Structures are given as structure tokens and as C-alpha cells.
Structure 1
Amino acid sequence: MKKMNIKKILVGTAAGAVMLGSMAIPVLAAKPANDVLVKNWFVYNRSSDFAKLWDDNKATVLDNGGVGFTFNNVGATTWYTAYLKAHYNGDLTGKTITANVSVTEDNATFVTRGDGSTSTVGIVIKSAEGNWGVNDYWWPTNRQLLSALGTDVDIIASTSDSNRANWINICGLPATDATIHSGPDCVGGTYPAESPYDGFTNALKNVKEVGLSFGGSGYARGVALTGGTASFQLNSFTVAE
């Protein structure tokens, strides 16, 4: 029987609570398998005034494991949380990614930057650092509603070939699309001489970052609050055969 190979980026079991910002959220009893990886998680926020202006900060490392952050409230200038990501240099071909997450909120109303669409969270992978193209960002389409999340919820995505149809690139093209597109793309550049099908295959072999994205109709538009308070916690993030 083949032994399952699981790489734990961040692990823990909920027990107790600490204060993150102004809210109490659960903490974890078990120490992470690798403290360096835990400290490597960053929160990326987008400005309400300038689409290309970003603010990034290390995620709060909780006392007994896990990382987290508090969502910002809408104001004159608002920072919308778009990503919680960590560096990951490796091949994700044929893997199953599982993020265990918790949301603690008090009368919170989630809102997506720009279009006000329903706020969601889901897994994201990125295969480039610095300059990137449309086939470097990939999202599975099984997003979770932030307003409906409770504690210890698993968000799962498979990169197996049979699950290709469940992944899209930054322009919304599925990983099953074998067409080589041309002309301007959706982010101000031009389409590469590579189909989304090949782009997904190549991206999985050269992953640079993994994590979660927050948005709505656009999976990383960013999310803030129009009332109340809310905190997000990543309890574990695992990659398995």
C-alpha cells in the first residue's frame, strides 16, 4: 500500500482564544511543523483609491500555531484584503490542497472592492515572481462564502487532470482550454503563445506561491467590512499526493 505523502505548511488544532486586533479568535494547541513557513505568510491589501497600490504585512502568528488577520472597515480610504499567501517552491501536479480556515465575526457585513459582489474566499496558486502573465495565476472555482464560514472549515482543491475544468486563470479561462489566444488580455498585456491548458500544466510544475484569495466576481478583488468586525484564521494548509 502506498504511503500518503503529506507536506504540512501550517498545522494545528483549535483550543482557546487570543486577541487579534479587537476580536477574540481561536488559537491552536499544536505547534506548526515548521515555524519558518508559518512566519512566511503575508496579507496583501488593495487600495480603494488606486487599483495598483498594494499594502503587504506579515500575517499575525498566533501563540499556539496558525496565522490570521482582521478585515479592515470601509472608510475614506479603504484597504481591501485580497490575498493571504506564502512562498512555496515546488511541483503541485496531481496534488490535493486543503486549507482549514475559521472566520469569527461580530455583526460584520462583508463587501467586495469595486463591484459589491458577494464576498468569497478560495485557494490560489502563482507560478511567477515579479513580472507575470495570465497563465501564472490559477484559482479553483469552488469558492466559499465568507458570511457563511464558521470554524474549522476545509477548502479543498485537486490539481489532478480530471479536475482541470475546476481551475481558471486570471482572465477566467479554464485549464481545459487548448486554444492559443492572441491580442490584448484582460489585465492590460497580451496573451502568451501558450494555451491555458499548457499554461496550467506548466504553472503546476513551477509554483512559487500558494495561499488564499478574497474577492467576489473577481477572485482577488479584495474584501472589507461595512459594519461590525471580523477576523480570519488559517489553521492549516496541506499538500498531499
Structure 2
Amino acid sequence: MHVLLIEDDPLVASGIRSGLMTFDFVVDHVSTLNAARQSMRTVTSDVVILDRGLPDGDGLQLLAEWREQGVDVPVLVLTARDTVRDRVDGLQGGADDYLVKPFDLDELVARLHALLRRVAGRSSGMISHGALALDPAAREVYVEGQLISLSRRELVLLETFLQSPRSVLSADQLKDSLYGMNDDVESNALNVHIHHLRRKLGSGVIETVRGLGYRLGKPEAVHLAGTPYKGRLYKDQL
């Protein structure tokens, strides 16, 4: 799962980021409201952890903006402001949960999972593309009804394509989705994951758009491994 962490204290942010990564979260960290706005425009996050006392304003200001714009990403406010009035303001301002510092990492993780389950319960369920079906809540992928074994990053990559089925996604966008903006990534890591998805789901499941990036292939391109795809393939899809 992809987390956007908005926290200006570097020690707190480092502790949260390293802790969440041990639970297989991908974490992007920004320290200002402006950086958070930019991140939300370029990276799809599953959940946001939002501090209030930021250098360029109160985090609730940004939350109010997002809600007015129809951004419904789940937001957990994480702050040292612990009065009842503070909590009420946060929840009435659009926060889905409110956790006071200091906190226990296990509780933070449990609350994040609860938020994600709540969102999954509100969603329409399975995401389909031809013979492929993704269950976001169970984190499972099926082709022609058969469960397909994908690694965590392969699943995140596939979900990124399914969320933008008509868009061409650049390599940088895909790397941000997989690893977060703060991580250094080996130059061939993305190509390896794409190769694995093509091998497991069909060579045409991800198309290369030369000079621009990648996009989800046509629905009929999805097939079980070992079943031929009759569409046109480029050399780097083989």
C-alpha cells in the first residue's frame, strides 16, 4: 500500500517511514503543504498521514482543500494537539482518523489497515480488465478465474495500470508508485517487474509507448501463461 506522509519533523518522519516499510508499506515523505499538493497531483496514494503544525500552515487547511475538490483519499491526522476540541476539529474537517503523538507503531499500522478496509468496503469490489480480475481488498489477482501468484510490487504495479487504464504512465510515475519518491531505484528494476507481469499475465498486458512510457494493454491481451496472444507485439514485449 502507498502512503503519503506529511510531517515536518525529520526524526519523527524517519521513524514512521522506516517502521511502516517493515510492514510492506511504500512511503513518500514530504514536509510542507505545497510539497503535499504536488505529490497528490503526481502519485496515487492509498492513505495519507497528515501532521497539523507544518511550516507553511495547518494540515487541516490542506485537508479542507482536498475535500472541497472531491479528493476522498483516507486521511489519518497525526499530531501532538491532544485536546478534545482539536480532535473534533480534525474529524469534522474531513479526517478519517486522529492519532495523538506520542504513539505506538503497532497502533498506527492497525489504524491504517482499518482505514484501508473501510475504503475497500465502500468500493465496488473487483476491478476487471478482460479475463483479469483484481480484488483490492484481498490483494489477489485472477485470470480466467485462476489465482495468479504476484509479488507485492508486481501487484502494486498492476493496480497502478488498472487505476489509469487509458493513460500513458512514464517510468518515473511508475517508479514513484512502486518505491516512493524518496527511494533510489536500480535502473532496470521497473523493467524487471514489467517483464514478470508480461510473463504471468500475457505479453500484451502492458504496452510500451516509445519515448513516453507504458500503458495497460487491450482487455483481450490478458491470458493465462502458456496461452498465445494473437495481437501485435513489439520486440521489447517478447
Report TM bin, short chain.
under 0.3
Higher helix fraction (1 or 2) = 2
- Normalising by structure 2, we get a TM-score of 0.27
Q: Specify which structure has the bigger relative contact order, considering alpha-carbon pairs within 8 angstroms and separated by 6 or more residues.
A: 1
Structure with larger Rg = 2
Higher strand fraction (1 or 2) = 1
